[in-house]
Amino acid sequence: MTLNIPLIAGIFVVIVLIAMAVKITRQYERAVVFRFGKLLGEKGPGLFLIIPFVDRIERVDLRVRELNVPKQTMISSDNVSLDVDAVIYFKVTDSCRAIVEVEDYEAATALLSQTTLRDVLGQNELDSILSERDRLNKKVQELLDVATDPWGMQVVLVTMRDVALPENMLRAIARQAEAEREKRSRIILAEAEYQASERMSEAAAFYEKTPVALKLREFQTLTEIAKEKNLIVISSGAAGGDGGIGATAGLTKAFTER
């Protein structure tokens, strides 16, 4: 039996061409097809065919991806030097533009993120950078989203991970926080003194109108003092009036019961 080598070779070539023509992309992938260097369109997900040696494909991942922005040294609007690093979350929304409009969309986004972060934070004071991170993250995201939209990309989220300050600035902030707490404590104490003085003024006015209540209060005070059993108290009314006699008798009883 003679082998038909040309036939076998032809069958092998056909099988190889079919294998080269069949392409598969995952659900989160798209294939950008170029035919003789001209953009043909987007294929996928799933099974599709191309012309071997004629078509060329570029695979694009459509999932949300993270991009670490390295630590950037910047100066705030109030001339404070600080180091900030951030994380950018983005995804490709148009695979054709992501391949055609920019050479390396991930590298371009990384560089753009660095410059945008420095520009935005440089327009704000240190207090705003530390206390308004959500607003600044949102502003950076909006600027990046507008800039990367022609590249077929969407910036989903921007978050600043760390804001590092010089040691002398940390000490200054600590002193400022301590002074702020001292200020609040003094305000609270002054407010308490003011309220107490108001109540004492009201009590004095009441005692002035009702002398009997003042005398009863004096008796109550004397009774509380007598509990100590180590003092001799002479009432201001002991020399005259029935009230003085009663107070003296009460004190005598308190001391004899020791």
Q: Convert the pLDDT of each residue in 88-122 to its tens digit.
A: 999 999 999 999 999 999 999 999 999 999 999 98
Q: 45 exposed, middle or buried (CB, 10 Å; 0-12, 13-18, 19+)?
A: middle
pLDDT at residue 233 greater than cutoff 60: no
Token pair belonging to 83? 């180091």
Residue 164 CA: distances (Å) to CA of 14, 65, 72, 84: 63, 25, 10, 6
Asked if the model's pLDDT at residue 250 lies above 70, the reply is: no
- The Cα 81–Cα 12 span in angstroms is 68
Q: Two tokens at 202?
A: 């009201």
**What is the pLDDT, as a whole number, of residue 129?**
87
**Token digits for 77?**
């609007």
Stretch among 109-118, 155-164, 184-193, 236-245 having the lowest mean pLDDT: 236-245
Q: In which region does residue 182 sit, left (phi positive, over 0), alpha (psi from -120 to 50) or beta (all else)? A: alpha
Residues of the chain with CATH 3.30.479.30: 65-170
Q: What is the pLDDT of residues 52-78, one digit of tens each?
A: 989 999 999 999 999 998 888 888 888
The average confidence (pLDDT) of the chain is: 83
Given this model, what pLDDT does residue 202 score? 82
pLDDT tens per residue across span 148-168: 999 999 999 999 988 888 777
| Of the candidates 165, 180, 153, the residue with the CA atom closest to the CA atom of residue 121 | 165
User: What DSSP designation does 62 have?
Assistant: -
CATH architecture of residue range(s) 65-170: 2-Layer Sandwich (3.30)
